[in-house]
Amino acid sequence: MSPAAGGCEEPGTGVPGTRAKFSALLEDSAEDLYESAPCGYLSTMMDGTIAKINATLLGWLGLSRNEVVGRMRFTDLLTVGGKLYHETHFAPLLRMQGHLGGIALEMRTASGSRLPVLVTSTVKKSDDGEPLLIRTTVFDATDRRAYESELLRARRTADEARRQAEADRERLREALAVLQQSLLPAALPDIPGVETACHYHTASAMQLGGDFYDLFALDDNRSAFFLGDVCGKGPQAAAVTSLTRYTLRAAALHEPDPVANLRVLNTVLLDRYTGDDPRYCTAVVGVLERVGETVEVRMAAGGHPPPLVLRADGRAEHLPTPGGMLVGALPAARFVPVRTTLRPGDTLLLYTDGLTEARTGPQRELYGDEALKSFAEALAPAGPGRVIDALTDLLRSFGDGLNDDTALLAIGVPARTDPGRRTSA
Amino acid sequence: MKNLTITASPTPAGPALVVAGDLDHTNARQLRRAGRGAAPSAGQVLTVDLGNVGFRDSSGLTALIALHNDALAAGADMALVAVSASVRRLLRLTGLDQVFDLRDRA
């Protein structure tokens, strides 16, 4: 209600000459205010029969007073939906509370069009509390409805954009998964006299990981393998992984000498990534050579956690390579050789530090080399398939304490009691 | 995750950086920039105090390698001061303990 129409106070009181002007403006009677107020008014009997209605509302509805007063009920002015809502919600609540405000309803005009309105009703009661009649104000909510549908449209647009973004994200996830797979062998090859198994844990589907491994035959008796971890994540790390993988493959085929292979990789990475943007990796590189029923393993490591061997007699031992340096970080890097013999029932395990750097327990302590060794001892003797299965379960048990990619590669010589050969990926 | 702060000050032997907080891929560039800003000249030693630093991923290591490369290119040297046990373990594993000059706080 506007202050002028309300007339509760006369602005400018006390200023000479203005009072007369306001009096002129305020000459409209209460009756005129009722009839031509900027909102609709109506009074109904308790059964809904319309007793009084103002000209504004009649004008909106395109009805005459004679058609309405005493002949129609309030619900007759509503659309079917409005009627239903009135019967089920509006009327019961009003009876209960005696007042109801700002309810959105739809009225039906004489021409058949819909008029969105906001309705407020109050029950007038007699002195002894008997309900007498219902007074109702009706506000034209066309503009408000337009605003709301604009909001709805904007929300639909936003929902659509979100759906699109999610679809894009899903496509990106798929592309990354394909790229990630291209950095790893699709399946490990069958190597006579050797069992193998591997596992790759991806910490984030939206980030290309930097761990890698490979295993391939060099000739009838010899094969080469490597496993490592490139610094960083994402596309740049994947580019380094790709360069690393093909460099190591080519180097091993050219000269099956693990220390020399790491030196080649060191030179290639230093040459490609200069001082300001060092890109490096940690890696274990090795050559397997079958000698009778045993396999001789020559390895070299640079900056990498020590390989572990699970022996057929139930022991587990680290094969430390102390002093082996990161590959690709320093021109004069040193790489340390280590060798071992795998007899039937022995399994060599290579892993990246996602495993040993995982956080466990309430104190979120490092899992660490010693815990891994104890785990391996409890497991030994075990072939590659069992070792990788057990470690996959272990990784799962770390939950969110495992926040880095983790690559596992196990290479074993089948135990004498188990002549079957098994390759799993 | 503790915020990274780096304070630089000159000493007679060369520029000194005191680093505190957790280093990861989001802030390792700050250390690279601070190292370039300190710019030790030939014959000087850039000292980097790591007494209150945690390494959250490999980027802290990468930053130290870049600082070391820059120092060597300028004919200077780099020393790491007050290296914590966990960072020492990382440096030993990566063989960098043979390359970096590790010192106690003076």
Would the CB atoms of A276 and B95 count as touching at under 8 Å? no
In this predicted model, what pLDDT tens digit does every residue of A355-403 receive, in sequence order? 998 988 888 888 999 999 999 999 999 999 999 999 999 999 998 888 8
Would the CB atoms of B62 and A278 count as touching at under 8 Å? yes
Among chain B residues, the shortest Cα distance to A353 is held by: B93
Q: What is the pLDDT of residue B74?
A: 92
pLDDT above 80 (res A425): no
Q: What is the pLDDT of residue A306?
A: 94
Tell me the average pLDDT across A203-232: 89
Q: How far apart are the first and last CA of chain B?
A: 28
In this predicted model, what pLDDT tens digit does every residue of A3-62 receive, in sequence order? 444 444 445 445 556 666 666 666 567 888 899 899 999 999 999 999 999 999 999 999
Instruction: Among A125-129, A228-232, A299-303, A415-419, name the one with the lowest average pLDDT.
Output: A415-419
Using DSSP's 3-state secondary structure scheme, residue A151 falls into: helix
C-alpha distance from B79 to closest chain A C-alpha (Å): 16
Structural domains present in chain B: 6-103 (3.30.750.24)
The DSSP secondary-structure symbol of A208 reads -
C-alpha of A379 from chain center: 37
A119 vs A42: CA distance, rounded Å: 11
Output A414 or A420, whichever has higher pLDDT: A414
Tokens of A315: 């022991």
From the list A275, A276, A326, the residue facing B94 with the nearest CB is: A326
- Comparing C-alpha atoms, which of A42, A4, A56, A11 is closest to residue A26? A4
Q: What is the pLDDT of residue A189?
A: 93
- Please state, rounded to an integer, the average pLDDT across all residues of chain A: 88
Q: What is the pLDDT of residue A23?
A: 65
For residue B80, what pLDDT band results from cuts at 50, 70 and 90? very high
Tell which CATH classification among 3.40.50.620, 3.60.40.10, 3.40.50.1820, 1.10.3720.10 matches the domain A187-424.
3.60.40.10
Tokens of A189: 């090859």
The CATH architecture assigned to A36-140 reads: 2-Layer Sandwich (3.30)
Would the CB atoms of B25 and A232 count as touching at under 8 Å? yes
Q: Is A185 exposed, middle or buried (0-12, 13-18, 19+ CB in 10 A)?
A: middle
- DSSP states of A219-274: SSSEEEEEEEEESS-HHHHHHHHHHHHHHHHHHHHH---HHHHHHHHHHHHHHHS-
Q: What is the pLDDT of residue A145?
A: 79
B85 and A CB contact within 8 Å: no
Would the CB atoms of A275 and B94 count as touching at under 8 Å? no
Report in angstroms the alpha-carbon separations of A212 from A241, A311, A337, A399, A420.
Answer: 7, 25, 20, 22, 28
Output B45 or A20, whichever has higher pLDDT: B45
Q: What is the pLDDT of residue A275?
A: 61
A129 vs A74: CA distance, rounded Å: 23
B35 vs B8: CA distance, rounded Å: 9
Output A283 or A25, whichever has higher pLDDT: A283
Q: What is the pLDDT of residue B43?
A: 92
Among chain A residues, the shortest Cα distance to B64 is held by: A278
Would the CB atoms of A282 and B59 count as touching at under 8 Å? no
B70 contacts on A by Cβ (under 8 Å): 275-276
Q: ipTM value, please give it.
A: 0.83
Output B14 or A176, whichever has higher pLDDT: B14
B96 contacts on A by Cβ (under 8 Å): 303, 325-326, 329
Q: What is the torsional sign of CA A406, A412, A418, A419?
A: positive
Among chain B residues, the shortest Cα distance to A306 is held by: B93
Instruction: Among A177-181, A284-288, A420-424, name the one with the lowest average pLDDT.
Output: A420-424
Would the CB atoms of A329 and B96 count as touching at under 8 Å? yes
B61 contacts on A by Cβ (under 8 Å): 231, 326
Please state, as a whole number, how many other Cβ atoms lie within 10 Å of the Cβ of residue A160.
10
Please name the amino acid found at residue A41: Y
Output A220 or A8, whichever has higher pLDDT: A220
Would the CB atoms of B99 and A278 count as touching at under 8 Å? no
Using DSSP's 3-state secondary structure scheme, residue B40 falls into: coil
Q: A224 and A260 in contact (C-beta within 8 Å)?
A: no
Where do the domains of chain A lie? 36-140, 148-182, 187-424
B50 vs B39: CA distance, rounded Å: 18
Residues in chain A: 425
Q: Is A296 exposed, middle or buried (0-12, 13-18, 19+ CB in 10 A)?
A: middle
pLDDT above 60 (res B102): yes
Q: What is the pLDDT of residue A27?
A: 59
C-alpha distance from B10 to closest chain A C-alpha (Å): 23
Would the CB atoms of B61 and A231 count as touching at under 8 Å? yes
Percent above pLDDT 90 for chain A = 63
Q: What is the pLDDT of residue A9?
A: 47
